[in-house]
Amino acid sequence: MEEDTDFRIRFSSLCFITDHVGFHGTIKSSPSDFVVTEIDEQGQLVNKATNELIGKVLPEPNNFAKKTKVDFQSLSFKEESNQEVSTVTGCSDNQNHQSGSEKEDNDGTSKGKEEQVDVLGNLLDEKTNELLNHFACDIKEKWNSKTELIGSSPEFSLGRILDKNQRAILHSAVRQKFPFLITVGKNSEIVVKPNLEYKELCHLVSEEEAFDFFKYLDAKKENSKFTFKPDTNKDHRKAVHHFVNKKFGNLVETKSFPELNYDAGNPNVVITVRFREKTHKHRKRSLFECRDQKVIYTAFTLRKENLEMFEALGFLAIKLGVIPSDFSYAGLKDKKAITYQAMVVRKVTPERLKNIEKEIEKKRMNVFNIRSVDDSLRLGQLKGNHFDIIIRNLRNQINDSANLRERILEAIENVKVEAVKLFLTPEDLDDPVNKAKKYFLQTEDAKGTLSMMPEFKVRERALLESLHRFGMTEEGCIQAWFSFPHSMRIFYVHAYSSKIWNEAVSYRLATYGSRVVEGDLVCLDEDVDDEHFPNSRVHLVTEEEESANTYAIHRVVLPVLGYNIQYPRNKVGQWYQEVLSKDGLQTCRFKVPTLKLNVPGCYRQILKHPHNVSYQLMEEHDIDVKTEGSHIDEATLSLLISFDLDASCYATVCLREIMKHDF
């Protein structure tokens, strides 16, 4: 394939399919000129009211994820909820502070403390309990007075506890009541010591935050999170990140999120801590626990204006007290547009989502069609998208003297009946972080790039923080990859696969045109509405079938990269192999356990039709349609065009085919 060594340049752009002249114009003059509405799997526009709207808002769950680490109901002794506590416990006044963990925890705080007191009172004799409180007070007083502990770390023994379950309960009860202490087991004996990590954290954050953080850490509540107080100092936040990850990185993960007005000059940023999923993966649960901990899913329609989707999710996550990966969606939407799309958020009730409706309006977002559902969404779970687009400043192609109105009508009617290649992803040049990205590509300086990257660019900053922490090594790159939520990781894999597919289609059409040739892949089914048809329905065209013109061009498919696809057996198949080789992926099977990558691949038809095409001509300064027979000044014409596209199809490619004009 020596003649095709410049394929990256020659076939990275689109080919025209139809043969009309076209015209020039401007798209996306404002977000309201480009309105995208998702079409769900049932063929309904998601901005329409659904019959499943909640009539009665579900109450917030009172006990979800609120169980402390110990099941106190399993204790063999009688609980005394009003048992008095020795007055020396007054030294641990921090236990009355507001927790930085999820607000839902506050409802059960008093009850939880009574239970912890009961446990200590029932497992320890009165004298030991009193001595434990004195020991705790002594440690706190020395720390508060800045007095260093001389010699080896002081210890206090609670004695031998023969029953294993009671030992576990006692370990947890002590650490919950006194987070500044740790407990150590020695041959059935429980020894209490100062928690030096607690003291170290107190040098970075307030004692209140340290107290609440270690309570949170010991409780290990499923799906819970802890948030430190807002902080404007980047270096200080970095120190907190480093401390938590160094000490507890195998147990929890930390992420930074901008607080409410994150587009301010010097925004507040909060550090959120969550348990890693593997922490609870193998823990056995009773049937009662599993029923109580059923995950809540709330579906809604998101309207956003001139806002990147991941930026919108970051803001919603902060307002709802979750993380961006708790949201699922069927597809991405344009930034410079008004878009409507289906969303599902987990661990948030419909009522809680409704409560933030007013707050998010100032960020050009709205949520509606709010309702409870049983599961999350997956990428590709949609039928397509409906577009309402205004093309302004219409004019003839250079050296074309024909009537502009006739050119427009000719173009639209031609595309209505001809197949158009629509999958190709357009480049988005409206990127506010290009300067920071270019700096990183030139220097590989993760720390310097972090200082340039805006705070609201959550995913870019997460990647850079990992590279800064772990270095520009293979391990650092793996850690940076895992700083993204799973849905985002899959998106980037799909983006690369789509890019290769786009170039392959251009190469295929440039090489063979609309002929179906030997070695092409075709779908055996006439009507295909889905990309996920099996290999058994994909057929390799034979020489005899090419000669007999057995198949039409709309039956031709090309593979999207994955481990479960076959390639064409002609020049296009050779092209795929050369591209993968140039990108260092010639041996990649798209199953990479270290990256948790498992991509089966699929097939797409290379040509698609737009559906339900309609249009109106209007004057640019007046959106009302002119009545028939009225004069229209061609210099001020605008075109309002509406159409539906299947999933994975792009409106700008359709417009390019209509107008014969690059944007």
CA–CA separation, 482 and 489 (whole Å): 8
Count CB-CB contacts under 10 A for residue 494: 18
Question: Token pair of 105, please?
Answer: 């925890």
The answer to whether residue 138 is catalytic is no
End-to-end CA distance of the chain: 31
> Could you give the count of Cα atoms lying within 13 Å of 322 in the half-sphere of its Cβ?
22
CA–CA separation, 296 and 298 (whole Å): 7
Count CB-CB contacts under 10 A for residue 6: 8
Write out the DSSP string of 163-230: -HHHHHHHHHHHHHH-TTEEEEEETTEEEEEE-HHHHHHHTTS-HHHHHHHHHHHHH--TT-EEEPPP
Residue 59 burial (C-beta neighbours within 10 Å; 0-12, 13-18, 19+): exposed
Give how far Cα 451 sits from Cα of 2, 446, 567, Å. Answer: 45, 9, 45
Bin 82: left if φ > 0, else alpha if -120 < ψ < 50, else beta.
alpha
Pairing of strands 597-598, 622-625: unpaired
What's the chain's Rg over C-alpha atoms? Answer: 31
Three-state secondary structure of 571-624 = HHHHHHHHHHHHCCCCCCCCEEHHHCEECCCEEEECCECCEEEEEEEEECCEEE
**CB neighbour list of residue 591: distance below 8 Å, 6 or more residues apart:** 563, 597, 598, 599
Q: Which of helix, strand or coil describes residue 157? A: strand
Count CB-CB contacts under 10 A for residue 452: 15
CB 245 within 8 A of CB 190: no
CA–CA separation, 408 and 390 (whole Å): 13
Residue with tokens 């063929």: 43
Q: Which of 334, 520, 644, 646 is catalytic?
A: 334
Q: Which residues of 288-298 are buried (b: 16+ CB within 10 A; e: fewer)?
A: eeeebbeebbb
φ and ψ at 641, to 5 degrees? -125, 140
CA–CA separation, 287 and 653 (whole Å): 53
DSSP H/E element including 298: strand 297-305
Nearest 5°: CA angle at 388, between 385 and 394? 135
**CB neighbour list of residue 313: distance below 8 Å, 6 or more residues apart:** 324, 327
96 DSSP assignment: G
CA–CA separation, 630 and 374 (whole Å): 55
Catalytic residues: 334
